[in-house]
A = this chain, B = another copy of it.
Amino acid sequence: MAKGKKDLDLSTEEKIMEAARKVFTEKGYAAARTRDIAEESGINLALLNYYFRSKEKLFELVMLERVNKLFGAIIPILNEESSSLEEKIEGIAGSYIDLLTEHPDLPIFVLSEIRNRPEKFAALVNARDRVTKSVFMKQLIERKLSVSPFHILINLLGMTVFPFVGKPVLSKLIGKEAEFDELMKQRKELIPMWIKMMLN
């Protein structure tokens, strides 16, 4: 079974899903073995196929969950009708940093699996219109910036998400894990401040 978590009241199916989330996210699809998942969940290898039919099908379920988790943290904020542009920026930076502090390897997992099989998973994140036609983008356009609104979106995501993508390298530069987390906590207020400077 998993690390801190208990498997006390989980159904067998849930135990397998829980283990699959962990193993796939840590190692990626290709390097993950169904035996790892079976062992991690404390059940037998045959049961994995009994419940999920194949490694591929199990992975698709996990991937769908992870994509929704990663993009579900931002899309609703982008489309809020009543909040200001500044409030949205604060909301995105804050909720993303909270989410990624808890799940640091979420972005690199999702992005690298999409890169590995774009034909299969790029459609999952078919957020084209939900982003480009979002309230957030409309509000950015209203500001009559001298640059494309995409630059602002890229900067917001880059400053927020990149430190977690680069964490395996950056945390070595910075020193202790706790210091990394402290810096990220500071960024919840700093990033909105910096982005607002770019709006003038």
> Which of A4-12, A48-56, A160-168 makes up part of the contact surface?
A160-168
User: In the complex the two chains form, what is the Cα distance from A26 to B114 in whole Å?
Assistant: 12
Closest to A195 in B: B194
Contact at A158–B151, with CB atoms within 8 Å?
no
0 or 1 for each of A127-165: is its CB under 8 Å from B? (1 = yes): 110011000000000000001101100110111111101
Interface residues on chain A, size class: 35 or more
Q: Which residues of chain B are within 8 angstroms of A154 by Cβ–Cβ distance?
A: 159, 162-163, 166, 170, 183
> Which A167-197 residues have C-beta < 8 A from chain B?
168-170, 172-174, 183, 186-187, 190, 194, 197
Contact at B114–A169, with CB atoms within 8 Å?
yes
Q: Which residues of chain B are within 8 angstroms of A174 by Cβ–Cβ distance?
A: 150
Q: Does A122 contact B (CB under 8 A)?
A: yes
With A116-B27, A161-B162, A198-B197 as contacts: A111 and B169 at CB distance below 8 Å: yes
User: In the complex the two chains form, what is the Cα distance from A114 to B167 in whole Å?
Assistant: 10
The prevalent SS among residues of A at the interface is helix
Contact at B183–A150, with CB atoms within 8 Å?
yes
Q: Which residues of chain B are within 8 angstroms of A112 by Cβ–Cβ distance?
A: 28, 108, 112
Q: How far is the CB of A109 from chain B (nearest CB, A)?
A: 8
User: In the complex the two chains form, what is the Cα distance from A81 to B192 in whole Å?
Assistant: 33
Q: Does A125 contact B (CB under 8 A)?
A: yes
Q: What are 27 sample pairs from A and B whose C-beta atoms fall under 8 A apart?
A: A27-B116, A30-B31, A108-B115, A111-B166, A111-B169, A114-B169, A115-B168, A118-B168, A122-B168, A125-B169, A131-B173, A132-B173, A147-B186, A148-B183, A148-B186, A151-B186, A151-B187, A154-B163, A154-B170, A154-B183, A158-B158, A158-B160, A158-B162, A161-B162, A165-B165, A194-B197, A194-B198
Top 10 A-B pairs ranked by shortest CB distance?
Answer: A158-B162, A30-B31, A30-B30, A158-B158, A162-B162, A112-B112, A114-B168, A158-B159, A115-B168, A154-B163
